[in-house]
Amino acid sequence: MKHTFSDDTLVNLQEEYDNTQIQEVIDELEQELIGLTPVKTRIREIAALLLIDRLRSNLGLVSGSPGLHMSFTGSPGTGKTTVAMKMADILNRLGYIRRGHLMTVTRDDLVGQYIGHTAPKTKEVLKQAMGGVLFIDEAYYLYKPDNERDYGAEAIEILLQVMENQRDDLVVIFAGYRDRMEKFYESNPGLSSRVTNHVDFPDYTSKELLQIAKLMLEEQQYRFAPEADEVLLEYAERRMKQPHFANARSIRNAIDRARMRQANRIFISGDRILTKGDLVTIQSEDILKSRLFTSSAENIQGS
């Protein structure tokens, strides 16, 4: 029996919102990710739309069946995978996916090297991803129109079918550089029409990268000496101008190498009695020994 509701039927939005507990996930996004304000705003907007859609459905109103497939564009190291994990959690708490897990894949996981190999590979990945979110990184590598022997188009065709026919049980997020992703969608209009939520991830500023570095150090129970944070800031500004810069990923690599230099500095100093402060403090020299400061080479990939 179909229920009917009058226009003055009351709905407790706050109670529904609290019951989903998605505020916990949004709070985690704020705490775990520095910056990315437009991304966080977009995620909140998507969550609000889905919550309202659920309330409408509960009242028997026509649901627009909001498209859930997404596109995350931006440079490496800007938090796309982390946000995808949070999005999977939000979708699960709102009841749009069963399991809420995230499966991350690339072209190699989907596309075979010979006839008859791609379909089973792609279908196996989709089987494992069902009930959750499939995150396809550098998705544009799926499409290689200049290569007649490439089987990426077959994988895309299978993805299209599942995205349409099983959209209630799987959400697909395509990710990669913005310019390449735009060309990817232009070449695949069927794919573009199924991706309704586009989220662009900006590069971090040097000051945001310093904040990220401090968080990384704190997680590993290290800290910067008073002047070392200014040196790291300068490192970030220099590294941003170099090839293969990967935002937070590059900063994590820099921190790892600074820890290694700190350990080596302590070991060769000859001191055998150390304080806790010695063990947890990254000094300026641990960063200044990077090739970014000691070399004039133009093509430094960071050290």
Give the per-residue pLDDT at 298: 45
Over range 192-215, report the average pLDDT. Answer: 95
Q: What is the percent of the chain where pLDDT is above 70?
A: 93
CA angle 162, 164, 170 (to 5 degrees): 55
Ranked by mean pLDDT, which of 59-73, 150-164, 222-236 comes out on top?
222-236
Could you report the per-residue pLDDT of 84-95, keeping only the tens digit for each? Answer: 999 999 999 998
pTM: 0.87
Give the per-residue pLDDT at 299: 46
pLDDT of residue 243 exceeding 50: yes
Give the per-residue pLDDT at 5: 54
67-201 matches 206-294 in fold: no
pLDDT of residue 215 exceeding 50: yes
Could you report the per-residue pLDDT of 147-189, keeping only the tens digit for each? Answer: 777 889 899 999 999 999 998 899 999 999 999 999 999 988 8
Yes or no: domain 206-294 corresponds to CATH 1.10.8.60: yes
Domain-wise residue ranges, the chain: 67-201, 206-294
Give the per-residue pLDDT at 149: 76
> Which residues, 6 or more positions from 19, have their beta carbon under 8 angstroms from its beta carbon?
none
Over range 235-258, report the average pLDDT. Answer: 96
Give the per-residue pLDDT at 67: 84
Give the per-residue pLDDT at 303: 58
Considering the domain 67-201 in this protein, what is its CATH number? 3.40.50.300
Average pLDDT, the chain: 90
**How many CB atoms neighbour CB 280 within 10 A?**
13
User: 282 or 19: which carries more pLDDT confidence?
Assistant: 282
* Banded pLDDT at 63 (limits 50, 70, 90): low
pLDDT of residue 65 exceeding 50: yes
Give the per-residue pLDDT at 12: 76
User: 19 or 198: which carries more pLDDT confidence?
Assistant: 198
Over range 19-37, report the average pLDDT. Answer: 92
Over range 194-210, report the average pLDDT. Answer: 96
